[in-house]
Structure formats: structure tokens, C-alpha cells
Amino acid sequence: MLAAQGRRSTVVRVTPQKRGLIPDPERARILAAMRALDDAEVELRAAVVSGLLAGGSVREMSMLTGMSTNTIQRWSREIVRP
């Protein structure tokens, strides 16, 4: 796919590590990405519920986000009635 777009892929050489060990830079990167993912999910939940409270329908929200109507309804219930 990359060749068809005129791009070259980059090969990164990694020093072999003992099996099972994740080097510190990669460990830090993974943990930071997990925190960012958690923050993004909190923001998405808040935005979805805000859209519902502003008058949007569950079906419209589902079509906009690609999420199931069950998930949207569950998020709405969890935030309105924790």
C-alpha cells in the first residue's frame, strides 16, 4: 500500500532484549498512550451524553459515532444515574 502512494516504509533496528522485558522508553510510551486513551474515552462519553441532553437521539448519535445504540444508552444511564 505504501509503495502505491509513492512512500517508503522505514525499518527501525532494535537491539535484541531478553524475552519478556519491555525496554523503559517503550514502557513509558505505552503507559502514556494508555493514559491518553483513558482521557479520550472520558471526553467521548461526556460529549455523547451532552449531545443527548441537548436533544440528540440515541439513533442519531449511533450513526454519527459508529457506536452501538446499547453503548450510548448505557453511557447515558451511567452518567445520569451513577
What distances in angstroms separate CA 20 from CA 14, 16, 23, one per listed residue? 15, 11, 10
Residues of the chain with pLDDT > 70, as a percent, come to: 84
Are 45 and 75 in contact by the 8 Å Cβ rule? The answer is yes
Predicted pLDDT of residue 4: 54
Average pLDDT over residues 52-58: 95
- Condensed to tens digits (0 to 9), the pLDDT of residues 37-51 reads 999 999 999 999 999
pLDDT reading at 16 higher than 80? no
Mean pLDDT of all residues in 32-37 = 97
